[in-house]
């Protein structure tokens, strides 16, 4: 049996309203006028039911109970149902209608007002919170490397034990400059050689020193901004997808290779909860990850990255608009590569002229600066989202407007 509903012409706030069901092809009894355009402060369309109305069950196990058709305003229906279960009676029934964002509540005449008062308190727009984050990554690097080339060639007629000697221990930067299409070596070349009578007495002597010292500084700043509801987790992420290959041995000469992706970068989780009018409880979880080095996979022999992580977790109470600073996520990498001639490279001071050394140090410091603001109250947020006001809120606004007009007249 299908039909439409027509609310009473003059509903009263206290008495429940009856629902009249009309049969197909038979006009409903009563006032033939269309439904009012403002039923419980919500516009209705002819042929559609108003937002909230109540009818009495006339049969079944719930005979005499009242059924309230409640259109959800701000929260989700399942969340409201979980709350109402704490106050409803044992035989009460709550049905969700998600396609219409509605709940159908069947409850006793005495307990239905209790559930309505609960809905008035919890089904409101929560405060909106704006999170403005500034991520500052300070990168400092120092590098020092040197190498040498030595050639000693004495005359064959000379009476000497060591007639010819040569050695090459160049730095990595110089070796990289020798590759095709590479930039020239960036560093200093010092060439010492023997000339004149020195060649006749001690032979041909040529010694080249190549040295390079580097120092770098970088500051990487990211300024994301996001708006979320009070109590909702906000995720701020600045990262790259790093491909990592995994090897699986399925049998003799049968290896399966899969590729997965890991996030490498900055990850910040912020959960603000408004407490009172001007206080905010903030749960913060920053995470910084980077590639430390590469190691050969034991199964496939392919270099795989080693990822290092720095993280922190805290809960603090701040005032509206205050700054929250999280620092101290330091990372220091030191690497030294040394190559030398056996025995000769261990001679104090002189041993430096029989080897090469590459020193590298990098320091990274990440600082998070957060400013969290309460954007609006529940009433302002509801007005901004064009959500209709309740009857009490509308009366209050009219009174405030009248008071303002009176003050201006004075």
Residue 253 CA from chain centroid, whole number: 43
Q: How far, in Å, CA of 396 to CA of 391, rounded?
A: 9
> DSSP secondary structure string, 206-249?
EEEEEEEEEEEEEEEEE--EEEEETT--EEEEEEEEEEEEEEEE
* C-beta of residue 119 within 8 angstroms of C-beta of residue 80: yes
What was the pLDDT predicted at 332? 81
pTM for the model stands at 0.56
Look up the CATH number of domain 57-124.
3.30.1370.120
Calpha distance 358→170 (Å, rounded): 10
Angle between the 112-122 and 77-84 helix axes, to the nearest 10 degrees? 130
**Residue 208 and residue 192: Cα distance in Å, rounded?**
6
How many CB atoms are located within 10 Å of the residue 366 CB?
22
Rounded Cα distance, 78 and 231, in Å: 17
* pLDDT by position in tens, the chain (length 410): 444 444 444 444 444 444 433 333 344 444 444 444 333 444 444 444 445 678 888 888 888 899 999 988 888 899 999 999 999 999 999 999 988 888 999 999 999 999 999 998 888 877 889 999 888 888 888 888 878 787 777 766 555 566 676 778 888 788 888 888 788 877 787 777 766 666 666 667 777 888 888 888 777 778 888 888 888 899 988 888 888 887 777 777 777 778 888 888 888 999 999 988 789 999 999 998 888 888 877 666 677 888 888 888 999 999 998 999 988 888 887 878 888 878 877 888 777 777 888 888 888 888 889 999 888 654 454 544 444 556 666 666 667 666 655 555 55
Q: Could you report how far apart the first and last alpha carbons of the chain are, in Å?
A: 62
Residue 362 near residue 406 (C-beta atoms within 8 A) = no
Q: How far is CA 210 from CA 58, 151, 328, 341, 369, in A?
A: 100, 15, 38, 17, 44
Instruction: Give the separation between CA 89 and CA 206, rounded to whole angstroms.
Output: 100
Each residue's pLDDT tens digit, 316-342: 999 998 999 988 888 887 878 888 878
Long-range residue pairs from 160-165, CB within 8 A, at least 24 positions apart, any chain: 160/203, 163/203
Please state, in angstroms and rounded to a whole number, the distance separating the CA atoms of residues 304 and 246: 9
Q: Please state the domain extents for the chain.
A: 57-124, 130-138+217-332+359-374, 140-216, 378-409
Please write the tens of the pLDDT for every residue from 157-188. Answer: 555 566 676 778 888 788 888 888 788 877 78
C-alpha 288/C-alpha 98 separation (Å) is 40
User: For 37-45, which contacts have Cβ atoms below 8 Å and span 24 or more sequence positions?
Assistant: 39/7, 39/11, 40/391, 41/388, 41/389, 41/390, 41/391, 41/394, 42/71, 42/388, 43/388
At residue 110, the 3 state secondary structure works out as coil
CA-to-CA separations, 249 to 32, 256, 260, 337, 338, in angstroms, rounded: 80, 6, 17, 35, 37
Q: How buried is 131 (Cβ within 10 angstroms: 0-12 exposed, 13-18 middle, 19+ buried)?
A: buried
DSSP assigned state of 42: S
**CB distance 152 to 205 below 8 Å:** yes
Is 122 within 8 Å of 75 (Cβ atoms)? yes
What would the pLDDT profile of 8-22 be if each residue is shown by its tens digit? Answer: 444 444 444 444 333
Contact 244, 305 (CB under 8 A): yes
């Amino acid at each position: 049996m299908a039909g439409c509903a027509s609310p009473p012409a003059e509903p009263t706030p206290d008495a429940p309203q009856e629902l009249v069901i009309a049969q197909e092809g038979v006009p409903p009894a009563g006032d033939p006028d269309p439904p009012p355009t403002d039923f419980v402060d919500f516009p209705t369309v002819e042929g559609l039911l108003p937002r909230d109305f109540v009818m009495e069950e006339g049969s079944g196990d719930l005979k005499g109970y009242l059924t309230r058709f409640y259109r959800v305003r701000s929260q989700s229906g399942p969340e409201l149902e979980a709350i109402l279960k704490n106050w409803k009676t044992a035989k009460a029934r709550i049905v969700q209608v998600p396609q219409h964002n509605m709940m159908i509540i069947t409850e006793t005449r005495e307990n239905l007002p209790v559930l309505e008062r609960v809905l008035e308190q919890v089904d409101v727009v929560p405060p909106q919170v704006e999170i403005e984050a500034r991520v500052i990554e300070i990168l400092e690097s120092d590098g020092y490397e040197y190498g040498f080339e030595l050639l000693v060639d004495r005359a064959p007629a000379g009476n000497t034990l060591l007639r010819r000697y040569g050695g090459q221990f160049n730095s990595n930067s110089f070796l990289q400059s020798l590759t095709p299409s590479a930039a020239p070596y960036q560093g200093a070349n010092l060439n010492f050689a023997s000339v004149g009578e020195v060649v006749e007495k001690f032979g041909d002597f040529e010694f080249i020193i190549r040295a390079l010292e580097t120092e770098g500084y970088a500051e990487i700043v990211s300024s994301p901004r996001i708006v979320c509801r009070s109590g909702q987790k906000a995720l701020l992420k600045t990262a790259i997808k790093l491909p990592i290959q995994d090897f699986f041995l399925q049998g003799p000469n049968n290896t399966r290779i899969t590729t997965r992706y890991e996030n490498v970068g900055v990850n910040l989780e912020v959960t603000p909860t408004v407490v009172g009018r001007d206080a905010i409880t903030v749960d913060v979880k920053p995470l910084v990850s980077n590639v430390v080095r590469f190691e050969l996979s034991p199964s496939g022999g392919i270099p795989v990255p080693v990822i290092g992580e720095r993280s922190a977790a805290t809960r603090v109470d701040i005032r509206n608009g205050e700054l929250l600073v999280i620092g101290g996520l330091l990372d220091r990498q030191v690497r030294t590569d040394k190559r030398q001639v056996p025995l000769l490279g261990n001679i104090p001071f002189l041993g430096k002229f029989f080897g090469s050394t590459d020193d590298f140090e990098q320091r990274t410091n990440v600082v998070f600066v957060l400013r969290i603001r309460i954007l609006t109250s529940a009433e302002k947020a509801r007005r901004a989202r064009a959500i209709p006001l309740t009857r009490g809120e509308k009366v209050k606004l009219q009174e405030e407007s009248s008071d303002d007009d009176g003050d201006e007249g004075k």
